[in-house]
Structure 1
């Protein structure tokens, strides 16, 4: 089912918030109608969950080939609706045929029944170039689609049975919307790593941006699906967010977790994140420098320009009915605490720096971490997990 929302919150993408979960009374009959069981990958399970709860509204299932081709080529579906990246189910199973009803499972759970309505062999080089701007396997998503994803893609409708049980308890878009103030700005902050002082200063100061309402709030909405191999484990990140939320206890901050698998797709990913956050009720989106960017593991060179994602998101924001909030370049100074880098340079202030590598070395060595850099509660969790 789906419902057009008439509250004082932003309308979902496409106008209605999709809910593909069947009723309790229908569940057994829907489950029994499946022809065979297919186990989801971690990435598949994230996509299934976001489709079922409406995070990918207005999609009602995995994209057919026509929409896949259109999104790869133009970041729009065949109906002209903006979409950053294609949403498809992959398999190596040649025997799966159009018309099959697949019971999608994940770690022993029965998530959904998927009616296969299209099946094709994608041109993965064309997908890589269109979505990520490169065919180099040094890009993590190119490596993912070429090495992890199966030979065939499947499209078709979903009927949800159960949501994945996760370390991160992921609220649905409807549940998040119920916590948001009507008629006010809701600023989304996306991250995939623990939040340190500079991040906190960044998203709380975003509430003072000129295009944010006086009673607006920020939704801190970390992704909790598969990400880069060297990122901190999800269970540890979850603990850092929970401890930090309790420590700051800020009434203008809402916290929720997003079951999304990162592609590190730069501009395309920024658009995808905006669309998803619109479905969760956000009106504004903080776009950081080099958002969702990545580097070649051979050359160390960036795949995207530092402001490419910001520019692309800004160019599409009006059509989405959203606004972007550029990420401030904040630095910590001995004299004035956190200020913009431009202010520090103009005033000749003394900037203090601590790299991520130094921070990890200090954690492992048991050294005292300066409180200007990291929250004590976050450090305690990271140190316990080291």
Structure 2
């Protein structure tokens, strides 16, 4: 174990020295440059992003569901976002980003708190009945996944989002194509109460027996 740790530290140090000497850095679109040292430090960090692993699943699921006034069937992409928000995969987020958080991430690749966050995580809808204050029961193929309290609703500047996040407005880019053609015109943000996780057609195998594990389970 000690040999393995020492080897990893040596590789990290060597990588940092090499990348620093070569002047290698990453830029997301036209956003800020991220140095090699910063990237290595982020990878090596053992604490959850933001310092706390989020878990949004509630014990009293029936009470949470009873408060919902609109049912929304999620698509594949939205259901994955909901699952990652609820199980802490998108820590420190406690729901879909509101307009201020979205704007901060698009412009500066950071949450308003200053914490780095690479891409916006938003819910989209074409339902005119969904407004600020609505409580949405989010379902996916027969599974009640979460209840969302809508706290923010806006129409984003999608060309700006694409240029800032992906560095291009070309529809050939999969991210641009998703924003332009898959996401609805209106974005909504708000907190989530997790209810359940669906059985997916594409289960993700993990080293722990081949089953899908949430971030908290992988840390045991």
1:199-251 per-position Cα deviation (integer Å, ceiling 9, x unaligned): xxxxxxxxxxxxxxxxxxxxxxxxxxxxxxxxxxxxxxxxxxxxxxxxxxxxx
CA–CA separation in structure 2 for the residues paired with 1:32 and 1:13: 32
**Match status 1:16 vs 2:88:** no
What is the match of residue 170 of structure 2?
136
Structure 1 stretches of 4+ with a deviation exceeding 4 A read none
- Post-superposition offset of 1:39: 0.7
Q: Secondary structure at the match of 1:44?
A: helix
2:95 alignment partner, one of 61, 66, 72: 61
Tell me the equivalent position of 1:304: none
Residue of structure 2 equivalent to 1:36 = 70
| 1:153 lines up with 2:153 in the alignment | no
Higher relative contact order (CA 8 A, sep 6+): 2
Cα drift, residue 149 of structure 1: 0.5
Distance 1:63 1:155 in 2: 5
User: 1:86-135, CA deviations, whole angstroms, 9 ceiling, x for partnerless residues?
Assistant: 00001111221100000000011110000000000010000000100001
CA distance in structure 2 between the partners assigned to 1:122 and 1:62 by the alignment: 14
What is the aligned counterpart of 2:149 among 115, 133, 150?
115
Structure 1, unmatched stretches of 5+, are 1-8, 179-386
Which residue of the other structure, out of 66, 77, 87, is the alignment partner of 2:111?
A: 77
- Pairing 1:126–2:160 present: yes
Q: Using the alignment, how far apart are the partners of 1:135 and 1:30 within structure 2?
A: 40
Distance 1:176 1:21 in 2: 17
Q: Tell me the secondary structure at the aligned position of residue 50 of structure 2.
A: helix
- 1:40 & 1:65 partners in 2: Cα distance? 21
The answer on 1:177 being equivalent to 2:219 is yes
CA distance in 2, matches of 1:150, 1:121: 9
Map residues 92-241 of structure 1 onto 2, 5 A cutoff: 92-167=126-201, 168=203, 169-178=211-220
Equivalent-residue separation in structure 1 for 2:212 and 2:180 (angstroms) = 29
Q: Report the alpha carbon displacement of residue 170 of structure 1 after superposing the two structures with TM.
A: 2.3
What SS does the corresponding residue of 1:119 show, helix, strand or coil? Answer: strand
Structure showing greater Rg: 1
Alpha-carbon shift at residue 164 of structure 1 (Å): 1.9
Q: CA deviation at 1:11?
A: 1.0
Q: CA deviation at 1:10?
A: 1.5
**Structure 1 match to 2:14:** none
1:329-361 residue CA offsets vs partner (Å, 9 max, x unmatched) = xxxxxxxxxxxxxxxxxxxxxxxxxxxxxxxxx
Matched position secondary structure for 1:146: helix
Counterpart Cα distance in 2 of 1:39 and 1:11: 34
Q: Which runs of 5+ in 2 are unaligned?
A: 1-44, 204-210
Q: Distance in 2 between matches of 1:134 and 1:95?
A: 33
1:151 and 1:161 map into 2 onto residues whose CA distance is 27
**TM-score of the aligned structures, taking structure 1 as reference length:** 0.43
1: distance between equivalents of 2:212 and 2:96?
21
Does 2:79 align with 1:45? yes
CA RMSD of aligned residues (A): 1.0
1:85 positional shift: 0.4
SS in 2 for 1:97: coil
